[in-house]
Amino acid sequence: MFIGMSTDAEISEFLTSRRGRLTPEDVGLPDFGGRRRVPGLRREEVALVAGMSAEYYKRLERGNAAGVSEAVIDGVSRALQLDEAEHAHLHDLIRAANAGAHPRPRRHPARKTQLTPDMRQTIDAMSTVPVYVQNGRLDAVATNALGRALFSELLESAPAPANAARFMFLDTRAQKFYREWDAQARQIVAVLRAEAGRSPFDRALSDLVGELSTRSELFRRLWGAHDVREHRTGLKALHHPLVGDLDLTYQAMDLASDRGLQMVVFSAAPGSATHERLQLLANLTGTAVDATAGER
């Protein structure tokens, strides 16, 4: 299991952290007062809302997930008001627990660290928008020319493969590059948490989390919060050293032809200041005529 923690401990800490966010009023239960030893719902209250016995839920929260059904996962998710990413994470944790006490580590195929030639050609042809391809560990796998220009500081921050989480927490330039650094830091940790649930025996991911936990107190604290998030769409507020502030929208898409990889496409509204600055960046870096981008 990642960073040496057992699957049952991960389930226990995740469920405990989620019920700690809620009050009886949040789930439609009366609060008869009385001092609570810890914040949030009691286990018995979660069980009541989920439609199961208190003893069964207590066993689950201790990490005993043997034979837990989809209906139970759904009931607990409703009771704890889990969002889609949190529900998927709980499902992944329980799947890992039921895989056995000593599951065979999964091999990660080479296609998770490089693109197929056809996809490489596709992203190079997308010359007017920045494109960035990453794997679940947030390693930079490939970019097109404009993507390389946009994320030049990240890509040059360390020997390949550059990693967005390592850049965020260990490179001081990240705090200037990401104008909303605090929010971006939380998002990156939450994305890694979700990946850890999907790939609990990924040694490279475990090593990355261990490194960041050792070297960054903030990462260690955010990791302990057990927040999870999917990386699909949103806004990036960046400050590029050549062209200044950029407000970009992004769409992230899983690649069917390169399983385990995600392509992130950034754009700006035509005529906006960000659109003009992207064009300036392309001109300054020669990306309008140079369609090459190295594999990372």
Q: What is the CATH number of the domain that holds 34?
A: 1.10.260.40
Q: Answer yes or no: do 209 and 254 share one domain.
A: yes
Question: What's residue 108's pLDDT?
Answer: 44
**By residue range, what is the domain housing residue 77?**
2-98
- Distances in whole angstroms, Cα of residue 16 to Cα of each of 97, 208, 213, 254: 17, 25, 21, 31
Q: At 248, is the secondary structure helix, strand, or coil? A: strand
**Total structural domains in the chain?**
2
Query: Residue 278 pLDDT > 90, yes or no?
Result: yes
Q: What percent of the chain has pLDDT over 90?
A: 72
Q: Which of 98, 120, 139 is the last residue of a domain?
A: 98
- Residue 115 covered by a domain: yes
Candidates 266, 272, 269; CA nearest to 251 is 266
Question: What's residue 103's pLDDT?
Answer: 46
- Residue 292 covered by a domain: no
Q: Answer yes or no: do 188 and 281 share one domain.
A: yes
Q: What is the pLDDT of residues 181-193, one digit of tens each?
A: 999 999 999 999 9
The residues that bridge with 254 in the sheet, in sequence order, are 262
Q: Answer yes or no: do 143 and 250 share one domain.
A: yes
Q: Answer yes or no: do 217 and 252 share one domain.
A: yes
- Band (32; pLDDT cuts 50, 70, 90): low
Question: What's residue 179's pLDDT?
Answer: 97
pLDDT average, residue stretch 234-247: 97
Q: Answer yes or no: do 137 and 219 share one domain.
A: yes
CB 163 within 8 A of CB 137: yes
Q: What is the DSSP letter of 80?
A: T
Q: Answer yes or no: do 88 and 130 share one domain.
A: no
Distance CA 83, CA 277 (A): 36
- Band (112; pLDDT cuts 50, 70, 90): low
Q: Answer yes or no: do 158 and 91 share one domain.
A: no
Identity of residue 181: W
Residue 251 sits in a domain whose CATH number is 3.30.450.180
Query: Residue 258 pLDDT > 50, yes or no?
Result: yes
Q: Answer yes or no: do 64 and 128 share one domain.
A: no
Q: What is the pLDDT of residues 135-147, one digit of tens each?
A: 999 999 999 999 9
Distance CA 128, CA 268 (A): 10
Measured in whole angstroms, how far is the alpha carbon of residue 130 from the centre of its chain?
Answer: 20
Q: Answer yes or no: do 34 and 69 share one domain.
A: yes
Residue 52 token pair: 């199961």
Q: Which of 52, 78, 98 is the last residue of a domain?
A: 98
> HSE (CB half, 13 Å, CA atoms) of 15?
30
CB 226 within 8 A of CB 13: yes
- Band (97; pLDDT cuts 50, 70, 90): confident
Question: What's residue 100's pLDDT?
Answer: 57
Q: Which of 70, 98, 126 is the last residue of a domain?
A: 98
Q: Answer yes or no: do 92 and 185 share one domain.
A: no
Distance CA 289, CA 145 (A): 9
Q: What is the pLDDT of residues 198-239, one digit of tens each?
A: 988 899 999 999 999 999 999 999 999 999 998 889 999 999
Distance CA 70, CA 55 (A): 18
Question: What's residue 289's pLDDT?
Answer: 40
Question: What Rg value do the Cα atoms of the chain yield, rounded?
Answer: 22
- Residue 166 covered by a domain: yes
- Residue 294 covered by a domain: no
Pairing mode of beta strands 244-254, 261-267: antiparallel
Question: What's residue 285's pLDDT?
Answer: 83
| Continuous segment of H or E residues that includes residue 74 | helix 70-79
- Residue 295 covered by a domain: no
Distance CA 250, CA 260 (A): 19
